[in-house]
Structure 1
Amino acid sequence: MLKKIMLILFFGFGATTYGQFQETGVEGNYNLYPAGSSDVGLNSIDVKGRFLLNFGKLKLQNETSFENYNFSYPFETTFNTEDIENYKIFGNRIHLGYSVSGNWDVHSYFKISLASNFQSGITSEDFLYTGGAYILKKGGSVANPSYFKIGAGYETYFGKPQIYPLVSYYKRLNEEFTAEIGFPKTEIFFTPNEKYSLSAKLDFTGTYLNLGEPLQPNLQYTAEKTGLSSTVLSINYNYVLDDAWSFNIGGGYLLNSKYRLLDKNNNEVLQFEIAPRPIFSTGIKLNLEK
Structure 2
Amino acid sequence: MKVRFLICSLFLISVLGLKAQENFSANVNFKTEPTDKINFNETDIAIFYQKELGTKSKIANTLDYSNLKVNYEFNPYNFYEDQDKFNQIQDKFEYSYEMSEKTKWQFSIVPTANFQSNLDFSDLTVLGSLAISQQIGSKVNVIVGAGRTSIFGAPKITPIVAFDYKMNDKTDFRIGFPDSKISYSNNVRNKFSLTNSFNGNFYHLDESINADNNAEKAVLSQMTSALEYERNVGGNWFLNFKAGYDFDKKYNLLDSSDHKVYDYNTGNGYVLGIGIKYKQ
TM-score, normalization by structure 1: 0.85
CA distance in structure 1 between the aligned counterparts of 2:210 and 2:123, rounded to whole angstroms: 19
Partner residue, 1:248: 240
Partner residue, 2:184: 190
Residue 194 (structure 2) pairs with residue 200 (structure 1): yes
Give unpaired runs (5+ residues) of structure 2.
1-21
How far has the Cα of 1:273 moved from its partner? 2.0
Partner deviation per Cα, 1:60-98 (whole Å, 9 max, x = no partner): 111111011001113333134232100000111100001
**Residues 35, 268 of structure 2: 8 Å contact kept:** no
Residue 173 (structure 2) pairs with residue 176 (structure 1): no
How far has the Cα of 1:146 moved from its partner? 3.0
Bigger shift: residues 243-252 or 105-114: 243-252
Partner residue, 2:135: 138
Partner residue, 2:123: 126
Partner residue, 1:16: none
Partner residue, 2:18: none
Q: Which amino acid aligns with 2:195?
A: K
CA distance in structure 2 between the aligned counterparts of 1:137 and 1:236, rounded to whole angstroms: 28
Q: Which amino acid aligns with 1:134?
A: A
Partner residue, 2:27: 27
**Residues 236, 278 of structure 2: 8 Å contact kept:** yes
How far has the Cα of 1:216 moved from its partner? 5.1
Partner residue, 2:13: none
The secondary structure found in structure 2 opposite 1:75 is coil
Q: Which amino acid aligns with 2:134?
A: K
How far has the Cα of 1:214 moved from its partner? 5.1
Q: Determine which of 150, 154, 165 is the counterpart of 1:160.
A: 154
Partner deviation per Cα, 1:191-250 (whole Å, 9 max, x = no partner): 111110111111111101100215359x7x421111110111100111112341111111
Partner residue, 1:19: none
CA distance in structure 1 between the aligned counterparts of 2:50 and 2:235, rounded to whole angstroms: 18
Q: Determine which of 128, 133, 141 is the counterpart of 1:147.
A: 141
Q: Which amino acid aligns with 2:140?
A: S
Partner deviation per Cα, 1:22-45 (whole Å, 9 max, x = no partner): 942111111111242xx1110101
The secondary structure found in structure 2 opposite 1:215 is helix
Residue 109 (structure 2) pairs with residue 110 (structure 1): yes
Residues 195/76 of structure 1: CA separation in 2 closer, same or farther (3 Å cut): same
CA distance in structure 2 between the aligned counterparts of 1:106 and 1:216, rounded to whole angstroms: 41
The secondary structure found in structure 2 opposite 1:61 is strand
The secondary structure found in structure 2 opposite 1:101 is coil
Residue 207 (structure 2) pairs with residue 213 (structure 1): yes
Q: Determine which of 43, 46, 49 is the counterpart of 1:48.
A: 46
**Residues 234, 251 of structure 1: 8 Å contact kept:** yes
Q: Which amino acid aligns with 1:223?
A: A
How big is the alpha-carbon RMSD for the aligned residues of Structure 1 and Structure 2? Answer: 1.7
**Residues 214, 222 of structure 1: 8 Å contact kept:** no
CA distance in structure 2 between the aligned counterparts of 1:96 and 1:239, rounded to whole angstroms: 29
How far has the Cα of 1:126 moved from its partner? 0.8
The secondary structure found in structure 2 opposite 1:24 is strand
The secondary structure found in structure 2 opposite 1:125 is helix
CA distance in structure 2 between the aligned counterparts of 1:216 and 1:107, rounded to whole angstroms: 38
How far has the Cα of 1:124 moved from its partner? 2.3
The secondary structure found in structure 1 opposite 2:247 is strand
Partner residue, 2:12: none
Give unpaired runs (5+ residues) of structure 1.
1-21
Percent identity between the two aligned chains: 23
Q: Which amino acid aligns with 1:270?
A: Y
